[in-house]
Amino acid sequence: MLTAFTSTLVLVVLGFAALPLVHTRVTGQLDQNLRQQILAIADYILSGDRTDQQVAAFTESVDTVTGTRIGVKTPFHTYVGSDAAAVRARWPGTYSVQQPRSPLDRLSPRFYVDQNGDRIASQGVFTGTSSWIVEGTITRDLIRQQERQRWLLIAGSGAGALVVSLGAALLLARRITRPIDSVLHAAESLGRGDLNTPVPVKGPPEIVNLGVALTQLSGRIERLLARERERAADVSHQLRTPLTVLSLETERLEAVLTERPEQLRRVQQAILALEQGLDNVINESRHRREDGLAERSDAVEVLREQFRFWSAAAKAQDRQVQLDGGSAPLFVALSTKHLGTAIDAVVSNIYRHTPPGVGYSATVRQVDNTIVIRVRNADPGAPHRMRPPAAGSTGIGLSIARSALEASGGSLTAGHDGADWLVTMTLKSYDGPLTKVDPASE
């Protein structure tokens, strides 16, 4: 819009400036044509002994421009040509034409403007024995007509130039804004947590440099997160297994230490607090993300990662683990952090309430617009408690998983399924752009 306004303003200013130039150009061209016609007639008269009929015929052959009229007053007291009546009115009586002082005088018709606005060109011709007067008229209507044609040509040229300039401006703007839009969309995707988004590196040098900087930034963030996850995995493998064993051994001592219930309770509370603190540190370090990132994740990959996380404890307690998640990603409207917390709470609940050797399995399927995750384990009869969150922590047991799912519109149910204990997690399918999500990059 600014380009169009500027171009229009420039054309208007140039148009006002061109008003006198157009008039001068038109009158100058018409004067030149009329001068050539008058001089041609004068040369014809001087080229021989001419009669008025011969001059009339020659004048008619020369006077071919529409809007101009030429008249000749002959020495025979007659008037010929298309402008004979006007010449008669201006030269009604006898006259004499002086012999020119030089040949150049003969080639210089005199121009003036009459009261009607018409331009008159007058040329006297002296043959040595006779005097002739040749005059031409350029009508005001012809001048205006020629000016209108010039203005139409200028306006058409200006409009064409305006269209071309606008087209060029749009192409140039498109060339500049397209890389900016691409970089902006890539930056928005990076801001939502999709670190695998390719950042275009094309366009002006500044945009290329910006794209390169964003690519380096996303790579740097991804490497930092990878190192952080590796450290968290090391901590989990080193502390999770002995802590689980310690918790199970403490439960077995309940029957032995019945005479000291207070001391046993304090030991159990200390182990529980340590376990909760370890869960908080590990989950936070493995899934730490900034606020405002995209609330979506691949349920298959998150479930697979959680089972890998618990694989060391499963091996230590001789538990058979099965996972059926398929190969295709299933996206859910829940962040990797919260989905991982829910699955971790369900699996952790199995370790707390079943003895070593009890295996478990999980499946993940899409049902209409929902993703259903089922975690199943053999139930040896131990009670499964829905424990409320402890003060100052994220809570333990199935209540953690239920809270995480319900916060995103999902649900969790748990109950007996034959001889097994079945936990079913239902989540909303993610209906946004299904770009490849790598939980390891989150």
Q: pTM for this structure?
A: 0.39
- Asked whether residue 345 falls in the same domain as residue 250, the answer is yes
Task: Please check whether residue 179 lies inside any domain of the structure.
Answer: no
Please indicate whether residue 76 or residue 106 has the higher confidence score (pLDDT): 76
CATH of the domain at 20: 3.30.450
> Residue 218's pLDDT band (boundaries 50, 70, 90)?
confident
pLDDT at 424 (0 to 100): 93
Q: What is the DSSP string of 28-56?
A: HHHHHHHHHHHHHHHHHHHTS---HHHHH
- Asked whether residue 124 falls in the same domain as residue 250, the answer is no
- Asked whether residue 277 falls in the same domain as residue 140, the answer is no
Predicted confidence (pLDDT) per residue in 94-112, tens digit: 665 555 544 445 557 888 8
Q: Is it the case that residue 363 has pLDDT exceeding 90?
A: yes
CA distances from 424 to 83, 129, 308, 405, 416 (A): 109, 129, 20, 11, 11
Residue position matching structure tokens 């990076």: 190
pLDDT at 440 (0 to 100): 37
- Asked whether residue 141 falls in the same domain as residue 212, the answer is no
pLDDT at 441 (0 to 100): 35
pLDDT at 387 (0 to 100): 39
pLDDT at 392 (0 to 100): 36
CB contact at 8 A, 147 and 24: no
Q: Is it the case that residue 438 has pLDDT exceeding 50?
A: no
- Asked whether residue 140 falls in the same domain as residue 217, the answer is no
pLDDT at 104 (0 to 100): 44
Domain hosting 292: range is: 208-441
CA distances from 218 to 156, 341, 426, 439 (A): 53, 25, 32, 15
Mean of pLDDT values over 304-311: 90
- Asked whether residue 99 falls in the same domain as residue 218, the answer is no
* Total tally of structural domains belonging to the chain: 2
> Residue 58's pLDDT band (boundaries 50, 70, 90)?
very high
Q: Is it the case that residue 420 has pLDDT exceeding 70?
A: yes
Q: What is the DSSP string of 110-162?
A: EEEE-TTS-EEEEEEEE-SS-EEEEEEEE-HHHHHHHHHHHHHHHHHHHHHHH
Task: Please check whether residue 169 lies inside any domain of the structure.
Answer: no
Q: Is it the case that residue 317 has pLDDT exceeding 50?
A: yes
Q: Is it the case that residue 10 has pLDDT exceeding 90?
A: no
Cβ neighbours for 374, distance < 8 A, ≥ 6 positions apart: 362, 363, 364, 422, 423, 424, 425
> Residue 144's pLDDT band (boundaries 50, 70, 90)?
confident
Q: How many CA atoms does the CB half-sphere of 129 hold within 13 Å?
A: 6
Across the chain, mean pLDDT equals 76
Element (H, E) at 299: helix 299-309
pLDDT at 410 (0 to 100): 86
Last residue of a domain, one of 106, 127, 145: 145
Predicted confidence (pLDDT) per residue in 116-131, tens digit: 888 899 888 888 888 8
Task: Please check whether residue 159 lies inside any domain of the structure.
Answer: no
Predicted confidence (pLDDT) per residue in 254-298, tens digit: 666 666 667 666 676 677 767 666 666 666 555 544 443 446 889
Amino acid at position 9, single letter: L
Task: Please check whether residue 423 lies inside any domain of the structure.
Answer: yes
CATH of the domain at 378: 3.30.565.10
Task: Please check whether residue 181 lies inside any domain of the structure.
Answer: no
- Asked whether residue 380 falls in the same domain as residue 307, the answer is yes
CA 31 to CA 137: how far, in whole Å?
A: 10
Q: Pick the range with the lowest mean pLDDT from 57-71, 177-191, 356-370.
A: 177-191
Nearest to 41 by CA among 134, 168, 131, 147: 134
- Asked whether residue 414 falls in the same domain as residue 268, the answer is yes
Task: Please check whether residue 167 lies inside any domain of the structure.
Answer: no
- Asked whether residue 139 falls in the same domain as residue 260, the answer is no
Task: Please check whether residue 37 lies inside any domain of the structure.
Answer: yes
> Residue 394's pLDDT band (boundaries 50, 70, 90)?
very low
- Asked whether residue 138 falls in the same domain as residue 226, the answer is no
Task: Please check whether residue 200 lies inside any domain of the structure.
Answer: no
Instruction: Count Cβ atoms within 10 A of the Cβ of residue 263 and give its class: 0-12 exposed, 13-18 middle, 19 or more buried.
Output: exposed
pLDDT at 284 (0 to 100): 55
- Asked whether residue 239 falls in the same domain as residue 119, the answer is no
pLDDT at 14 (0 to 100): 55
Last residue of a domain, one of 129, 145, 161: 145
pLDDT at 375 (0 to 100): 93
- Asked whether residue 94 falls in the same domain as residue 242, the answer is no
Opening angle at CA 162, ends 161 and 165, nearest 5: 85
Percent of the chain residues past pLDDT 70, beyond the cut: 70
